[in-house]
Amino acid sequence: MDSHINMSIYGHNQDRSRVAFTLIELLTVIAIIAIVATLVVTMGQSASEQKKIVAVKAMKETLITMIDNYHNKLNYYPPDNTNLLNYAASSPSYDSYATSNSLLYELTGATNLNNGADLALFNNSNVTASAFAKVFGREGVGNGDALEPHNFFKPGPGPKEIAPIATNGGFVFYALIAPVDFIPGRTNNFWHYDSSSTNRHNLTTYDLWAEFTIGNVHGSHIITNGNW
């Protein structure tokens, strides 16, 4: 009887030893789960970063095509904000004026009215040249032939491609935006454009670029996607 009981208990303990996990095995499983989770997060983050880069590059190539068509038609590149001439590339003011450019209005065309005192813009708004100058550093639009204003944006800029940049003289002015946030959660990442300063990379043509962040909160950094 005692022997039978001892054998049963012994056999029961044997079964339990076969199904139980040792501490080393548990730690190994936890480590594997952690590695897999890290890989999943890293792959997801990499895909998100690549999506940003592809989106910016696609729009950049579209804008480059329009700018080149502009040059082929008018024999000069779209003017930028003339205030760029007064600042070094390292100055915060340079970056501010590079994003406050009139590229949108140059590519969509305008009509000079009242001997250039007023402008008729793509969004059916008439503005004074002086109000335009306070925002973009120039009173007129190069692509502003009253007889033939050329629209290189076909059919036209969509609501996701432009955003208000400033208000002056009762008019709201817009600029082109990149298809990514500059900082996560912040919208209106305006395209940078420089066709006049000595700071630009392409001294015989123009610089066009967008800046945006990639990476996680602790390891994020800003990258520049430009035409150089």
CB atoms near residue 95 (< 10 Å) = 15
In a domain, 16, yes or no: yes
Instruction: Please tell me whether residues 72 and 177 are part of one structural domain.
Output: yes
pLDDT number for residue 125: 81
pLDDT number for residue 105: 94
Instruction: Please tell me whether residues 117 and 94 are part of one structural domain.
Output: yes
Give the range of the structural domain holding residue 131, as residue numbers without chain letter.
Answer: 49-226
In a domain, 43, yes or no: no
The confidence band for 171, taking pLDDT boundaries of 50, 70 and 90, is very high
Instruction: Please tell me whether residues 129 and 163 are part of one structural domain.
Output: yes
Instruction: Please tell me whether residues 116 and 219 are part of one structural domain.
Output: yes
Q: What total of structural domains would you count in the chain?
A: 2
Q: Which residues contact 203 (CB under 8 A, 6 or more apart)?
A: none
pLDDT in tens, 197-212: 999 999 999 999 999 8
The confidence band for 15, taking pLDDT boundaries of 50, 70 and 90, is low
Dig out the tokens for 109 from the structure.
Answer: 């065309």
Residue appearing with tokens 């480059």: 64
The average confidence (pLDDT) of the chain is 83
Instruction: Please tell me whether residues 94 and 10 are part of one structural domain.
Output: no
The answer to whether residue 42 scores a pLDDT higher than 60 is: no
CB atoms near residue 54 (< 10 Å) = 11
Cα 221-226-228 angle, rounded to 5 deg: 125
In a domain, 162, yes or no: yes
The answer to whether residue 44 scores a pLDDT higher than 60 is: no
Instruction: Please tell me whether residues 102 and 171 are part of one structural domain.
Output: yes
The answer to whether residue 48 scores a pLDDT higher than 60 is: yes
In this prediction, residues 151-177 reach a mean pLDDT of 91
Instruction: Please tell me whether residues 124 and 25 are part of one structural domain.
Output: no
Instruction: Please tell me whether residues 89 and 197 are part of one structural domain.
Output: yes
